[in-house]
Chain A
Amino acid sequence: MNTRESVRQAIESVRAQKLRSGLTLLSIGIGVFAIIASTSVTTTLQKVVGTQLADLGEHSFLIQRTPSIQFGSSWRKYMQRKPITYQQALEFRERMTTTALITISNTNPAYTIKTAGASTDPDVSLIGVDHLYSTVNAVSYDRGRGIVEQDVTLGRNVAVLGNDVVVKLFGQRDPIGQTVTIKHQAFTVIGTLTPKGAVLGQSQDNRVLIPMPLFVKYYTWEWDRSVDVSVKAWSKMSLPATVDEAIGIMRVLRGVKPDEENTFELDTNEALTAQFSGFGSALLIVAWISGIGALIAAGIGIMNMMLVSVKERTREIGVRKAVGARRRWIMRQFLVESITLCQLGGMTGTVGGVGISWLVTFWLRTTGMDGVGYDLPLTSILFSVIACTLIGVGFGLYPAYRAASLDPIEALRHE
């Protein structure tokens, strides 16, 4: 009596009880699906965020009024913080002694950019920048030039356009030297940004850069005038010292008392990654707990089904014993049956989970995330196979034992 024979018998009896097996199979499938899909999607998202954060630069950090990734309910606390004003940011830059590149910028969404004959949708991000913006944020230009120090100090009406805006307003024509208007203010186009594509469905090219003083003057309101300060330390080595000094100066400038916590956020690349991976882990834990819960529930279903099956097949067990089946062979037959059932369910869930996560990756790619590849979540698939086997054995053991212990005489008499 080999295992192949047992598997054949198992598949045979699964087929004989289509509905009952199907339902049990489904519950196993759901558990496995939850585990595989969540692991896979989270991994992909982590990769996406990782790519994004890498853009920020290895030894850069960001000072903002509110954190860039927010979880939980501290929203109210953040909104009570005073804005980081442009003046404050300038003063901060002035006081910093550690060698570092510091750029002050701010972004407002949803602007309409116009020329004499054309207009964009009202969805262009307007970014106020200074002359260090492109160095710190690794921005490059494919035509013309970026915003230089004189543009900032003299408050020149100049603008650098993202590719989406260029295409919309000028098509194939050269935009350099042309005039665009943003809310009745005229700007001369001095350069265009190298196209970057989209991230999570958000185009990175639908933006316009203008000098910070103009941004503050025309496009900032009392309730939203906080600027972002990006600091690029000289090297990874000098990053901690730079961070320390930045925190100290900001606290002084914002009048934070020694026993109070910071009234601003300082996010290093690492901290952001850690924050996100914390979020990712939380998501994974929830998904795994629910997946494992579903698997255990399914295990109980398996046990019930196997017990019914043993009862219904009492006579068959009697016949098998009469013709010479040993206890352990009967036991093995029912165990293999319960494992087979679990594995069939597991396969269903794996196919579903892999399918869904593949679709998510595919969707991310259609939104322009070329860098996102699909990796088969081998660890979770392996885990599922092992978990299904364990559940099959764990919950099949008692029914199998019941079957193996039947008295052949009684079993043969069973109606």
Chain B
Amino acid sequence: MADAPIIIDIRHIGKVYPMGDEDVHALRDVSLQIREGEYVALMGPSGSGKSTLMNMLGCLDTPSSGSYVFKGNNVRDLDDDDLAAIRNAEIGFVFQTFNLLPRATALENVELPLVYSGTRARDRRQMAIDALHTVGLGERMHHRPNELSGGQRQRVAIARALVTNPAIILADEPTGNLDSRTGQDIMNLFGELWRQGHTVILVTHEEDVARHARRIVRMRDGNIESDEAVT
């Protein structure tokens, strides 16, 4: 693991939001390296800067200072469209509230990133079907989100995150809206994906959820408080 290539290389990044007359320092001085194949949990209370860091990792936002190199690309130099392209190809998002398109079927939801990557219709159908099978939802692919349980919806979202075979899967409180048993199932699924070789970054404030990861990064007041392997 130690010699796997570094995907995420963050050095001394800061993020400042102007809020009224004052500047809010969401991130002060954060440095973090994540290698391919890692399973990292990002923890911290609200206001600690973990959401900002997650948005940064997911290329939804760019740092105000410092450098963020994602797979060799300096994110600070990229424009909106380049960031969109990186998100499309390299990052799979899983959200607490699932964020599926309500009018689209499970299959269509999973196909969405492939639509934007310009994959041919027949190919993307097959890829989406494969991804749904991976998360154990091969049977329900023609259902719409409101016909699926919470756990099933999150599986669809995970399939959508997987379908482009991204460099990282970025999960923001993926069990936050699920009961504990379903949450456990979802965490097992992430464990399985990690064992298959995916890089997983988990953002959570729950200790038992974070324990599934192999490394826990704790945030406080815009800085990294601790960064240690799970024993």
A contacts, CB < 8 Å to B: 1, 5, 12-13, 16, 315-316, 318-329, 408-409, 412
B50 → chain A closest CB, angstroms = 14
Instruction: Give chain B residues whose Cβ lies under 8 Å from the Cβ of A325.
Output: 84, 88, 116
In the bound assembly, the distance between CA atoms of A186 and B81 in angstroms comes to: 97
Pick the contact of B112 from A12, A323, A327 — CB < 8 Å?
A323
In the bound assembly, the distance between CA atoms of A328 and B95 in angstroms comes to: 25
B49 → chain A closest CB, angstroms = 14
The answer to whether A5 touches B81 (Cβ under 8 A) is no
The answer to whether B115 touches A1 (Cβ under 8 A) is yes
Pick the contact of A412 from B85, B99, B160 — CB < 8 Å?
B99
Q: Is B60 an interface residue (CB 8 A)?
A: yes
Instruction: Give chain A residues whose Cβ lies under 8 Å from the Cβ of B55.
Output: 409
Interface flags, B57-98, vs A, CB<8A=1, else 0:
010110000000000000000001100110111000101000
Pick the contact of B115 from A5, A315, A318 — CB < 8 Å?
A5
Q: Is B18 an interface residue (CB 8 A)?
A: no
Grouping DSSP codes into helix (H, G, I), strand (E, B) and loop, the A interface class, with mixed when no group exceeds half, is helix
Instruction: Give chain A residues whose Cβ lies under 8 Å from the Cβ of B88.
Output: 323-325
Pick the contact of A320 from B60, B112, B118 — CB < 8 Å?
B112
The answer to whether B116 touches A320 (Cβ under 8 A) is yes
Instruction: Give chain A residues whose Cβ lies under 8 Å from the Cβ of B103.
Output: 12-13, 16
Q: Indicate whether A323 sits within 8 Å of B80 (C-beta atoms), given known contacts A5-B115, A329-B116, A409-B61.
A: no
Identify the closest chain B residue to A325 (Cβ): B116
Interface residues of B, CB < 8 Å — how many? 24
**13 A-B contact pairs sorted by A residue (CB < 8 Å):** A1-B116, A1-B118, A5-B115, A315-B99, A319-B99, A322-B93, A322-B99, A323-B113, A323-B116, A324-B89, A325-B84, A325-B116, A409-B55
Q: Is B117 an interface residue (CB 8 A)?
A: yes
In the bound assembly, the distance between CA atoms of A394 and B136 in angstroms comes to: 46
Instruction: Give chain A residues whose Cβ lies under 8 Å from the Cβ of B118.
Output: 1
Identify the closest chain B residue to A316 (Cβ): B101
Instruction: Give chain A residues whose Cβ lies under 8 Å from the Cβ of B61.
Output: 409
In the bound assembly, the distance between CA atoms of A327 and B80 in angstroms comes to: 8
The answer to whether A322 touches B115 (Cβ under 8 A) is no
The answer to whether B101 touches A319 (Cβ under 8 A) is yes
Identify the closest chain B residue to A405 (Cβ): B80
Q: Indicate whether A324 sits within 8 Å of B116 (C-beta atoms), given known contacts A319-B101, A412-B99.
A: yes
Instruction: Give chain A residues whose Cβ lies under 8 Å from the Cβ of B80.
Output: 326-327
In the bound assembly, the distance between CA atoms of A13 and B61 in angstroms comes to: 29
Q: Indicate whether A322 sits within 8 Å of B58 (C-beta atoms), given known contacts A12-B103, A16-B103, A412-B95.
A: yes
